[in-house]
Structure 1
Amino acid sequence: MELKDEIRIPASKQVVYDALNDPEVLKACIPGCEELIQHSPTELEAKVVLKVGPVKARFTGVVTLDQAGAPDRFGLSGEGKGGAAGFAKGGAEVTLTEDGDGTILRYDARAEVGGKLAQLGSRLIQGTAQKLSAAFFEKFAATVTADAEA
């Protein structure tokens, strides 16, 4: 499954980049996130509760950041396990481009699911992934905008 989108955030590229690397901001923006622990500058551990169709599960996973192209772009990859519900793994490439007094954030993500989740059908999973992604970025943009104005 692949997801691509972009959003304009009315804040500088550095402010957006810093927020993407702030565990408190991420925890507040990730739908269903119960816990987000930063083990190192490039490794995070998360506990997230998600409902995909009739399946509700608590996922525990690790996300690794690749900051080689920062602050213009960076990558992330991760894997989460949801017990009997199955697993999810994938990654994303994020690019940040200055746009006047704001920043265009583009992402290109890919994910793979297994277990009960995979049995739900790709349209339901794709739709849920798009909805969760949109919810994250809307909340992220609102949070960064409020912080930039403060």
Structure 2
Amino acid sequence: MNLSDTKTINADRETVFAALLNPEVLKACVPGCQEMSGSPEDGFEATVVQKVGPVKATFKGAVQLSDMNRPESLTITGEGKGGAAGFAKGGANVRLEADGDQTILHYEVEAKVGGKLAQLGSRIIDGFAKKMADQFFSNFQEAVGGPDEAALAGAEAEAEPAKPKGWFQRLKG
């Protein structure tokens, strides 16, 4: 499964790049992430709980950052094992483009699964992988730059978020 998209983030390119290297930001943005530890240099260890169709699994895996060209681009690759459910692995090429005081984040994602998960069929798997990538980058967009103005135009916040929008920038400030 391959997917590419862009997100406009209300933060400068250096701030966005720093957030991509921060384990607390990554933990907050990865859907279902229970634990995240490590460093950009040595990689991160993560535990993620997800339900794909009828299969619910806890994935334990590793995330590596490579091809870092600060503050322009990097590659994120990861692999997780979910016991009897199988495995998931994939990566994202991320490119950051300055646009005034905002940053346009371009991403290309590739994902593969095996084991029981692969038996669910490509339509379910592709839909799930797209949803996970979209959720991660939308969560990242909100954590770093605050809410997306277009998304706010037609929606009211119904529940209090776990972390305030744009919290990473306020920590840095």
How would you bin the TM-score normalised by the shorter chain? Answer: over 0.9
The 3-state SS of whatever aligns with 1:41 is: coil
Q: Offset of 1:24 from its aligned partner?
A: 0.5
Query: Judging changes above 3 Å, is the alpha-carbon distance between structure 1 residues 69 and 46 closer, same or farther for their aligned structure 2 residues?
Result: same
Q: Offset of 1:127 from its aligned partner?
A: 0.8
Q: How many residues align?
A: 150
Residue 79, structure 1, aligned to residue 44, structure 2: no
Name the TM-score, length of structure 2 as normaliser: 0.82
Which deviations, in whole Å up to 9, do the C-alpha atoms of 1:70-122 show, x marking residues without a partner? 22011122211000000011222110000111001011111111001000111
Root-mean-square deviation (Å): 1.4
Name the TM-score, length of structure 1 as normaliser: 0.94
Q: Check the 8 A contact 1:39/1:45 in 2, yes or no.
A: no
Q: Percent identity?
A: 53
Q: Check the 8 A contact 1:94/1:105 in 2, yes or no.
A: yes
**Separation (CA, whole Å) in 1 of partners of 2:142 and 2:89:** 27
Q: Offset of 1:26 from its aligned partner?
A: 0.8
Specify which structure has the higher proportion of strand.
Answer: 1
**Separation (CA, whole Å) in 1 of partners of 2:74 and 2:90:** 15
Q: Offset of 1:40 from its aligned partner?
A: 5.4
The 3-state SS of whatever aligns with 2:70 is: coil
- In structure 1, list runs of 5 or more residues that go unmatched: none
The 3-state SS of whatever aligns with 1:48 is: strand
Residue 12, structure 1, aligned to residue 12, structure 2: yes
Q: Offset of 1:134 from its aligned partner?
A: 1.4
**Separation (CA, whole Å) in 2 of partners of 1:28 and 1:39:** 15
| Alignment correspondent of 1:66 | 66
| Alignment correspondent of 1:117 | 117
- In structure 2, list runs of 5 or more residues that go unmatched: 146-165
Q: Which has the larger radius of gyration?
A: 2
**Separation (CA, whole Å) in 2 of partners of 1:68 and 1:39:** 14
| Alignment correspondent of 1:30 | 30
